[in-house]
Structure 1
C-alpha cells in the first residue's frame, strides 16, 4: 500500500465519518445544519475512500460500494492490495 495516499485517505475519511454521524444527531434539532454536515461528510468520505483505493492501486469505480451501508466499506477494506507484486507464498 502506498503510505502517503493511505495517510491522505485517513485525513479525509475519518472527519467524513464523524460529520456523517454527527450530522444525524444535528438533523434532529437543527435540520439544515445537520443535513449540510451529512452532505459534507459524505463528500469527504468519498474522497477519502478514493485515496484509499488509489493507495491499493485499484480502480476508483470501486468507491460506489460506499452506498451499501457497512458492508460496502468492509468490502473495500478487504480488497487485495495491488500496489506491490504478490510474493510466491501468497495466493
Structure 2
C-alpha cells in the first residue's frame, strides 16, 4: 500500500515538478497530477490543465463591454486566475533535477 509519504516523494516532494522522460509518459502524468494536487488549491490547478484557463469575465459599463481587471474579480475568480498561472508555471518549468 502506498503511504502519503510515498505519494509525496512520487509527486515531486522536493518542490519541483517531476522530469518527463519520453518512455515513461504515463508514470510522469500520474506524478505530475499528484504534484499539482499537493499544492494549495491543487484541484483548481489540475482543472486548469485539464479544462483550460478561466474565461476572463467581462462587464458592460455605459454600453461598453470590457474585460474585468484582476481587482474586479470575485474571490473565486481571483483564486482560479491565480491557479491558472500556477498551472502554466508548473508546465513551463520543464525538466528539473
- For the aligned pair, the TM-score class normalised by the smaller chain equals 0.3 to 0.5
Scaled by the length of structure 2, the TM-score of the pair is 0.32
Name which one, 1 or 2, has greater alpha-carbon Rg: 2
Scaled by the length of structure 1, the TM-score of the pair is 0.34
- Give the helix-richer structure, 1 or 2: 1
- Give the strand-richer structure, 1 or 2: 2
